[in-house]
Amino acid sequence: MSILGDDYSPMRQCEQFSLPIINFFSWFLVWRVPTVKILLHMLKSDENWELESKSLSFVFSRLLRSKFSEWVVLFPEVNIWTPNGAALQGQVSNKYFLPKFNHLLYPRFSAFFNIISILNQSKPHAYLNMYDITILYTRNGHGTISNQYKPPTLLDIFASAEPITVIVYVKIRSVSRIPTKRKKLEKYLEHLWIHKEKVISQLKAENDTHIQSRILKDNFSVAP
């Protein structure tokens, strides 16, 4: 997940303090709450959708004119990770000599290119930073190490019989250092995914070590 943020600072002009407005960019639209229009776009488009250049200014015009702190959330993921999806992605990676991921699917470039393009066309703009967010879900119920790092559904989150831990890793990156040329931007996003793969591997290893230590401590405390 990527979040583009302006120079918002909660310590600046406290008398005018307000939280940033959160927008989502997906399926050809910038939106705050899901609408019927979003659903119609989802039905008519594939996952590699991309706005035409002449439409960018129109779609982002409200954000670029806004006097408020407006942040944009973007999901460059191709789809939700599943074992079948990962296996298919592995075949594609072997065929086209792409980086191999165990915890991620290959990133989607089109929407990311769209948003960087409009920012490049609209200088100066208020968007200074990109918050590169990696989220890991883990279920560690019943005092055992769980290898199921499967993302929960909304039903799981609200009605799960076992606790779900959400681990969030955030890396702040400067928008000015993101390439604007298509090929270089694709390579940039690919490198971000390689970094995310390493981060997730490290988070899983640390989490499993923590659970193992907890189990050993619990077993020691109940030993006769």
The predicted-structure confidence for 99-150, as pLDDT tens digits, reads as follows 988 888 888 888 888 888 888 888 888 888 999 999 988 886 554 454 578 7
CB 74 within 8 A of CB 4: yes
Average pLDDT over residues 60-85: 79
59 has a pLDDT exceeding 80: no
Average pLDDT over residues 41-59: 70
**Token digits for 108?**
């989607």
List CB contacts of 147: < 8 A, sequence separation 6 or more.
none
Q: How confident is the model at residue 14, as a pLDDT?
A: 46
The predicted-structure confidence for 185-210, as pLDDT tens digits, reads as follows 999 999 999 999 999 999 988 888 87
Measured CA to CA, the distance from residue 74 to residue 26 in angstroms comes to 7
Q: How confident is the model at residue 80, as a pLDDT?
A: 73
**Token digits for 98?**
């792409």
**Token digits for 11?**
């310590």
**Token digits for 187?**
């390579």
Average pLDDT over residues 64-79: 79
Q: How confident is the model at residue 143, as a pLDDT?
A: 45
**Token digits for 66?**
């806004």
Confidence of residue 15 (pLDDT cuts 50, 70, 90): very low
Average pLDDT over residues 11-21: 58
Identity of the residue numbered 133: I
Measured CA to CA, the distance from residue 109 to residue 222 in angstroms comes to 53
Residue 77 is classified by DSSP as -
